[in-house]
Structure 1
Amino acid sequence: MDKIFDPRAIEARWCASWEQNGYAQPETAASLRGVDRASLKPYSIVIPPPNVTGTLHMGHAFQHAVMDALTRYHRMLGCDTAWIPGTDHAGIATQMVVERQLAAQGIKRTDLGRDKFLEKVWEWKEYSGGTITNQIRRMGNSVDWSREHFTMDDTLSRAVTEEFVRLHAEGLIYRGKRLVNWDPVLLTAISDLEVESKEENGKLWHFRYPLASGSGHLVVATTRPETMLGDSAVAVHPEDDRYKHLIGQSVRLPLCDREIPIIGDDYVDREFGTGVVKITPAHDFNDYAVGQRHALPVINVFTPTAHINDEAPAAYRGLDRYDARTRIVEDLEKLGLVDKIDDHKLMVPRGDRSGVVVEPYLTDQWFVDMKTLAERSLASVEDGRTRFVPENWINTYKQWLNNIQDWCISRNLWWGHRIPAWYDDAGNIYVGRSEDEIRANPAYASTLSADTILRRDEDTFDTWFSSALWPFSTLGWPEQTEDLKRWYPTNVLVTGFDIIFFWVARMSMMGLHFMGEVPFREVYITGLVRDAEGNKMSKSKGNVLDPLDLVDGISLEDLVSKRTTGLMQPQMAAKIEAATRRQYPQGIEPVGVDALRFTFLALASTGRDIRFDSSRASGYRNFCNKIWNAARFVLMQCEDKDCGQDESLPHTLSAADRWIVSRLQKVEAEVAELFRTYRFDLLSQTLYQFVWNEYCDWYLELSKPALQDGDAEAQRGSRRTLVRVLETILRLLHPLMPFITEEVWQRVAPLAACSGETLMLAPYPVSDAARIDENAEADIEWLKGFILGIRQIRGEMDISPAKTIPVLLQNASASDRTRVEAMLGSIRFLAKVEAPRILESGDEAPQSATALLGQMSLLVPMAGLIDKEAELVRLSKQIAKLESDLEKTTARLSNPNFGKAPEHVQQQTRDLVAKQQQDLDALRVQHGRIESL
């Protein structure tokens, strides 16, 4: 093995090998194992499909680390395992990218026409569509690429058509005029998920609406004056004593020649504004509900581009909504109808793609009746068929399903699955899988003749409508394929909490409706990946991390350029650049895929957001180095030597051998439970502690006496334990750190009498209770205490680790004496001491440094080991210097001006004060010990 672990030297090679050999394919795995797939327990996961033209971000990398760990684990357990990959066509996002490219050439999509425009989109998909799949490969994800899907593939398109046609035939899909989120730039309805509401500074206008009776007026508060042109009523709370006597009367709508009623509705908040609100059913979702309750007219005064239409008075027609707002306020001021204008903070909904304010807009769209579908999804969580991890998300899920609204599934886009509906000139609607099927359908014979011209619906489906089928369309539905029979329902869905409603719930509803069974048994909900301070990662904040920059490293200048590219405001760019230079003064050093994946899993506390600190990944890069160096030691000790491969040859296991094997069994049992409960954070900690502390730091040292001085049977036993425990460790770690474990396993497996082409298909370790040895564990814990006690004395007394020192044992029990005799070689070798002398009762102990091991004292006589006076002088100088340093640091902290420094600088100074005080206390204690000798 190379002396230095270089992840770049192995990652590309193993990625290619795994994929070329098809190890992630269930058929290949079964064949290489020589088993019948039908006899295996199925296990499947579908990947949440990323946007086909997108790139890998930290959230993807985190969730993929979890999914790959689960997939590799169950594959090694012997399950018939499939992790199904794929990408989403991302209707709005992809169409926007292509439209912007065309706009740069002075071309509009309407100039090209639908067919030519779609050709351009497919060209862009072919050009950029492989980026994210190559990044998924780069991360070592063991998906079955032979089963890769794209939501616009012919098979999946056929499934979406089938979904729509069946739901329509069952009366669960209808076309109607309703309010939707409307993006006036993209000119399409968008889902709630594509709307970002943020608090912004605005105004609250108070207008006087004259009573029709002429006896006064009502003051109405509004944040959107332009919508008053479409008012249908004003509303007050029915129990508001100020206004309830007016209910049933009317007001004159200013600027419009019409009267509107005063209605009572408990939707009105008596404490907001004046307690009187305008009701505009065509331009507000809550107002629409009020309008439905009171049978109010629905008056739309906007065009699709958010200009004033012909339903409004002539003076405002054609104006942009904000120009109309200005004109309306000016006109009301002239009429003396502006009561007051207040500054007001309000939540403003903006399209996440276009950035413009979204309008509630009344338009004809296709909807799914969700209440009927939601009932079975609710039942599936009630009866435990679908389980959430963590469980608290069940309440959120149930609350949303209990208050579900019908789903607008049509999008006014060209890129996507086109809705299979046709229209004739009389306005009749025909739904079918094709126009030919419609013409052959007897149900349409009364309105559809052979010469009737049909026009297909121009709209496409909401992306989530196709994604709702993902767990079974990727397995071949609507055909009853072998894959569908084998792997539906899938075992677990790994996803973020932000799409529980938009995707998880809809997959559940469609799976239960079309398949009669839940699409996944468990839903593992991940948190968001935030920066080290807990802030959400965003380009505007300049705190975004690219997972591949962590894997491969990036220079400071390239990182600054990456974070500031595209920022319009120089001041913002300068701020981001300064923060980046402060946080990453040397850029980002490469950590490799294994270290990054292990970091994600170590931080994956269920239900909590991840605060990602790149220094943590650097720490796990050190863990990779530790494994690599341990493997090099083992190979140097064991390659070309007898490692017990021949079971007929006798071997002797030392207490250390039996101890590490026993500890291994307990770790294996703990790991199985932690995988079962999705506690990847505890799983990572358990493996880290066992590998680093127990195997590398202790067992490798404990094995040396037998390897160097033991007889043939003892050497064979230790070498056998070294390689077999290491080989088992590699299998335990492989789902979390696939690259380094595969690389090392290929060298270690033959020594451990293991065969097979790849670690991916090796059996996952299973605990054997018969191999647990409590006595050996107790013996080694005693030995570790002995060695640590001697090392403590050396450290306190500044005695060289290379110097062999005497040791006396006081108050030694019978078991202490037995252990000293049994493990004398290890004691002398590892503690670097002379043979311990046991003091009997009444023996006088010389002046000694002391450490305790249970009731027994470890005494190291100081005579001849240190120069007491010289050591006191040395310590006094150190104490004086540290006292001076502490005084300066404390003075800086107490300076009133220091409170103006950045918080992270203040915290660093507070931490330094604590460290200096701790070091000073330790030096004073050591000075006192030596002075007392």
Structure 2
Amino acid sequence: MSTFAGDEAATLPTTYTPADVEGELYERWVERGYFTADAKSDKPPFTIVIPPPNVTGSLHLGHAFEHTLIDALVRRKRMQGYEALWQPGMDHAGIATQNVVERELAKEGKSRHDLGREAFVERVWKWKAESGGQISGQMRRLGDGVDWSRERFTMDEGLSQAVQTIFKKLFDDELIYRAERIINWCPRCLTAISDIEVEYQDDDGELVSIRYGEGDNAIVVATTRAETMLGDTAVAVHPDDERYRHLVGTEIELPLTGRRIPVVADAHVDPEFGTGAVKVTPAHDPNDFEIGQRHDLPSIAVMDERAVITVHGPFLGLDRLEARSAIVAALRAEGRIVAEKRPYVHSVGHCSRCKTTIEPRLSMQWWVKVGPLAQAAGDAVRDGRVKIHPQEMEKRYFDWVDNLHDWCISRQLWWGHRIPVWYGPGGEVVCVGPDEQPPTGEGWHQDSDVLDTWFSSGLWPFSTLGWPEQTESLAKFYPNSVLVTGYDILFFWVARMMMFGLYAMDGTPPFHTIALHGMVRDQNGKKMSKSFGNVVNPLDWMDKYGSDALRFTLARGANPGVDVPIGEDWVQAARNFANKIWNATRFALMNGATVEGPLPAPEELTPADRWILSRLNSTVAEVDGLYEDYQFSKLSEALYHFAWDEVFDWYVELSKTTLAKGGPQADAARRVLGEVLDVTLRLLHPIVPFVTETLWTTLTGAESLVIADWPKDGGYRDAEAEAEIATLQQVVTEVRRFAVSQGLKPGQRVPARLELDGTVLAVHEDAIRSLLKLTVPEEGFAATASLPVAGATVSLDLSGTIDVAAERKRLAKDLAAAEKEKAQTTAKLGNEAFLAKAPDEVVAKIKARQEAAEVDIARITAQLAALPQG
């Protein structure tokens, strides 16, 4: 027996209080360097990056969910002997961060223009140092095993060098260019945003049909954005539309402007939609821009960057929405409105940052030519170099990368990586690399735009390891082993990393596997939103129930690629599980559970000992397989049911009988109990690290579970012991069910006679009596109920405790159901036509149902016969 087990149990409080251990344990792990990855190590690498949270952010349930899954993977791999690196860091979040600081300035009555660019950027850095990155402390609360010594920020000097290097490389390879095109413009943030940063939602608007021209030469067009008609430069119809063929090539008058515009024929127009004619505004609509390019039409911008009308006339200076109403009123006054439909529900794009309605706008911007990059990103998945999990998500990925448009990467902000391009007085354009001096002299100036935040975060898997320098860390830890992220940023971030990783790293993809998870929702499956009032601060639940409880709840709900509903009662249930682990381990320690010495030989063990060791090895194998398949929900369920149901509810209870008898078998049980708890705590540790660390170090006296070995399936299986204990469980469960049906109180002792001879249960009488609280019958014992189960008979004296009439009624109902099942299956098996057509496996299942019904009938009939008469 361990010399410390019983004494150590006494050092554990009777109840587990997470707040007493979590903070101290985490800081100990960090101080001892358990999470620090060594690039010089000869261990095989396991690398995973944190999807960098915004520097403006705080820990929400989505972060907690994702971090729990990543941490579980990393902790397990570290225990398996890998040199595990979980790379932490934050994103500078261009638009979001600039907005935060501008709001702070507004409180002082200032704007960024009052400070100037350089002073404003200094102000943002100051804000970042003082207020940014609060999420780091929250990650510690959750238990994130990241390598804090490697923490990076997308505006760090090293990462900035990586950004400049890849921009220069793409520019020199003619994969970056500058062009005037239609972009998504946010009039609130005053910057371009990419297609994937536009959120579409159904808005109530109005559809107005307007007559252009007069008489036989009139054409009716419909629009939801009447204000853009000021910039119309054509009306387009389909080339084969007979209704308008006579007008193609002519000009008609554009109402309210005095301008005349051509009628053009373009195959883009759908002749079946509406009137079959569309207004063409090349400067304010992406499709119209393409039509304009094909027909050499001018582009007339009618709004400035704040969506205010700039065309001289009665609408000058009006906001776009004000202008819309005024223009419709003016058209109505001229009799130009043919029809109006309101409300007209249609899909409208909004800025994902501030929710302002997006304005398509013709603008000179920088672009990435994504064709060859996207092709490479698609090929890496198609040829198997990168696996997407779950596999059904591959279609989403291909739908995106196979249909990518060129990426607008310039943003009209001051906070971010400034585009490394200088313009000369003579129209020169020079792209400057990180080791090159920018041109100087009169008239030279740098481009004022910064790069899209996703440009720098797309370099994250290799820029954080020192690229473009060929560092030891880059050689050791690139490519990443797996990327764990939400399916919602498959396009924002994952596709960008794939394109840049393959391009910069000579065709080596940034990760071997992309493991996609769903979104966290409330317990009713509803999206969490401040407007819905269902947003949960995970810190509140961690304060109330402990970090382990939150982590286990999140892991237990994590089916690959599927959204995760979560409610407080589930976190409470997980807290109860942590308490169960605590109490069971404390009991075992108090009763001498030990990890010292080898396990006894199977012949020295009881059937219960052999059963739990068999189940233990099977569980190790099952959990390993589920981890490799990223089935966090299933492995959490497997661990929960093994730990609670099999170890705590059955084995610990069965071992009490053995321990009470003393002797060699009791010593063997103590060793087996220690082994089972040792391995179970190791298996649970990646998901619930705090409670398991506290208990395991107490049980074993070893340094830390973080650096302990991961359990291995020793191959031990004992089918005979598993069948024997399954029979015992069947008897106990059936008697317990009967007792509940009779209204017996939990723990109520009942005299009983056990007829176990001739069954495998004969050696388990003491255990059965202990589990069922059955006392040995005294002289004059008279059974009032008898239950035949698994070849044994349990006779109970329930006089004074049993409602005979209620029990007879219950059994009669069960008997009727069993007889109905037998009649139905017998009828099917007696139907020759059915048997001739039914597959063999179907017939076999019906025969099995018939046999089960016959067994139930015999059992229930015997129980009815055993009931007292009257």
- Bucket of the pairwise TM-score, normalised by the shorter protein: 0.7 to 0.9
Structure 2 gaps of 5+ residues are 1-11, 811-862
Between the aligned partners of 1:678 and 1:353, the Cα distance in structure 2 is 32
Q: State how far apart, in whole Å, the 1-side matches of 2:599 and 2:806 are.
A: 58
Report Cα offsets for 1:713-768 as digits up to 9, x if no partner: 21210100111110110100001101101011110113xxxx4x210111111111
Partner of 1:827: 768
Partner of 1:180: 183
SS at match of 1:850: strand
1:594–1:740 CA contact under 8 A, matched in 2? yes
Shift of 1:255: 2.0
Q: Which residue of 699, 704, 720 corresponds with 1:748? A: 699
Q: 2:821 aligns to what?
A: none
349 and 796 in structure 1: CA distance in 2 versus 1, 3 angstrom threshold? closer
Q: How many residues align?
A: 803
Q: In percent, how many aligned pairs have the same letter? A: 45
Equivalent AA in structure 2 for residue 693 of structure 1: D
| Alignment-derived partner of residue 920 in structure 1 | none
> Structure 2 CA distance, aligned partners of 1:824 and 1:872?
27
Q: Does 1:529 align with 2:520?
A: yes
Deviations 1:827-879 (A, max 9, x none): 34334446799xxxxxxx9865233433x2524154xx4138x9469999x9x
Shift of 1:202: 0.9
Question: Could you list the per-position Cα deviations for residues 56-92 of structure 1 after superposition, in whole angstroms to 9, with x for gaps in the alignment?
Answer: 1111111001100111011111111100000000010
Distance 2:435 2:313 in 1: 43
- Return the match for 2:622 from 670, 675, 679: 670
**Aligned counterpart, 1:610:** 564
Letter in 2 for 1:250: E
Structure 1 residues 232, 650: closer, same or farther in 2, change over 3 A? Answer: closer
**Deviation (angstroms), 1:434:** 5.9
Question: How do 1:178-217 residues align onto structure 2 when only pairs under 5 Å count?
Answer: 178-210=181-213, 215-217=216-218
Which aligned pairs between 1:257-296 and structure 2 lie closer than 5 A? Answer: 257-296=258-297
Specify the SS of the correspondent of 1:198.
strand
- The equivalent of 1:884 in structure 2 is none
Task: Give the match for residue 779 of structure 1.
Answer: 724
Cα offsets for 1:743-799 (capped at 9, x unmatched): 11110113xxxx4x2101111111111x21111111111222222233334334455
CA distance in 2, matches of 1:614, 1:661: 35
* Aligned AA (2:324): R
Of 757, 760, 765, which aligns to 2:706? 760
Q: Deviations over 1:608-654 (max 9, x none)?
A: 11111111111111100100100110111017xx7653779999321
The residue correspondences of 1:792-811 to structure 2 (distance < 5 A) are 792-798=737-743, 801-803=747-749, 805-809=751-755
Output the CA distance in 1 between the equivalents of 2:434 and 2:656: 76
Give the 3 Å change call, closer, same or farther, for CA 244–930 of structure 1 in structure 2. farther
Query: Residues of 1 paired with 2:483 and 2:735: CA distance?
Result: 52
- Cα contact 1:651–1:714 (8 A) shared by 2: no
CA distance in 1, matches of 2:650, 2:675: 16
- Contact 1:655 / 1:780 at 8 angstroms: preserved in 2? yes
Cα distance between partner residues in 1 of 2:156 and 2:682: 37
Residues 799, 378 of structure 1: CA spacing in aligned structure 2 closer, same or farther, 3 A cutoff? closer
> 1:227/1:710 Cα in 2 relative to 1: closer, same or farther (>3 Å)?
same
Aligned Cα root-mean-square deviation (Å): 2.7
Q: Show the counterpart of 1:335.
A: 334
For residues 546-557 of structure 1, what are the structure 2 equivalents within 5 Å? Answer: 546-552=537-543
Q: 3-state DSSP class of the match of 2:437?
A: helix
Corresponding letter in the other structure for 1:867: G
| 2-structure distance, mates of 1:23, 1:645 | 27
Deviations 1:875-902 (A, max 9, x none): 99x9xxxxxxxxxxxxxxxxxxxxxxxx
Q: 1:866 aligns with which of 795, 799, 807?
A: 799
Measured at CA, do residues 747 and 383 of structure 1 come closer, stay the same or move farther in structure 2, by a change above 3 Å? same
C-alpha separation in 1, matches of 2:806 and 2:216: 97
Matches within 5 A, 1:399-548: 399-433=399-433, 437-439=437-439, 451-515=441-505, 516-548=507-539
Give how far 1:241 is off.
Answer: 4.1
- Which aligned pairs between 1:223-262 and structure 2 lie closer than 5 A? 223-262=224-263
Q: Structure 2: how far apart are the matches of 1:115 and 1:688?
A: 56
* Contact 1:787–1:831 (CA under 8 A) maintained in structure 2: yes
Which residue of 2 is the match for residue 8 of structure 1? 19
Once the two structures are TM-superposed, the CA of residue 355 in structure 1 deviates from its matched residue by 3.0
Structure-1 residue corresponding to 2:819: none
Distance 1:476 1:820, change over 3 A: same
Change beyond 3 A, Cα 1:605–1:874: closer
Q: Which residue of 1 aligns with 2:833?
A: none
TM-score under structure 2 length normalisation: 0.88
Query: Are 2:71 and 2:144, in contact at CA under 8 Å, matched by a contact in 1?
Result: yes
Q: CA deviation at 1:497?
A: 1.5
Match of 1:703, SS state, is: helix
- 1:2-44 deviations in whole A, cap 9, x for unaligned? 01111111111111111111101123xx9xxxxx822x22110
1:210–1:462 Cα change, 3 Å: same
Q: Which residue of structure 2 lines up, in the alignment, with residue 37 of structure 1?
A: 41
The equivalent of 1:149 in structure 2 is: 152
Take 2:198 and 2:324, find their aligned partners in 1: how far apart are those partners? Answer: 23
Any idea what SS the aligned residue of 2:75 has? helix
Over 3 Å counting, the alpha-carbon distance change for 1:204 and 1:723 in structure 2 is same
Instruction: Give the SS at the match of 1:196.
Output: strand
Contact 2:462 2:510 in 1 (8 A): yes
Identify if the C-alpha distance between structure 1 residues 760 and 847 changes in structure 2 by more than 3 Å, giving closer, same or farther: closer
Closer, same or farther in 2 for the Cα pair 1:827/1:338, shift >3 Å?
closer
Match of 2:303 in 1: 302
Cα distance change of structure 1 residues 41 and 472 upon mapping to structure 2, 3 Å threshold:
same
Look up the match of 1:841.
Answer: none
| Aligned position for 2:117 | 114
Q: Which whole-Å deviations, capped at 9, do the CAs of 1:426-483 have from their partners, x for residues lacking one?
A: 33211112695344xxxxxxxxxx7444111111110000011000001110000111
Instruction: Name the counterpart of 2:846.
Output: none
Task: State the 1:262 CA deviation.
Answer: 2.1
Secondary structure, aligned partner of 1:82: strand
1:320 is matched with which residue?
319
Change (3 A) 1:121 1:928: farther
Q: Distance in 2 between matches of 1:761 and 1:111?
A: 54
Q: Which residue of 2 is the match for residue 632 of structure 1?
A: 586
Distance 1:260 1:931, change over 3 A: farther
Task: Name the amino acid aligned to 2:700.
Answer: A
Aligned-pair CA distance for 1:508: 0.2
Most deviating of 187-196 and 370-379:
187-196
Q: Which amino acid in 2 is paired with 1:252?
A: E
Asked whether the equivalents of residues 784 and 866 of structure 2 are also in contact (C-alpha less than 8 Å), the reply is no
Given the superposition, is the C-alpha separation of residues 649 and 686 from structure 1 closer, same or farther in structure 2, using an over 3 Å criterion? closer
Conserved? CA contact 1:8–1:592, under 8 Å: yes
Instruction: Name 1:907's counterpart in structure 2.
Output: none
Cα distance, 1:245–1:610 mapped onto 2, change above 3 Å: farther
Q: Distance in 2 between matches of 1:619 and 1:327?
A: 60
Partner of 1:444: none
Q: Which moved more, 1:777-786 or 1:271-280?
A: 271-280
- 1:631 & 1:93 partners in 2: Cα distance? 48
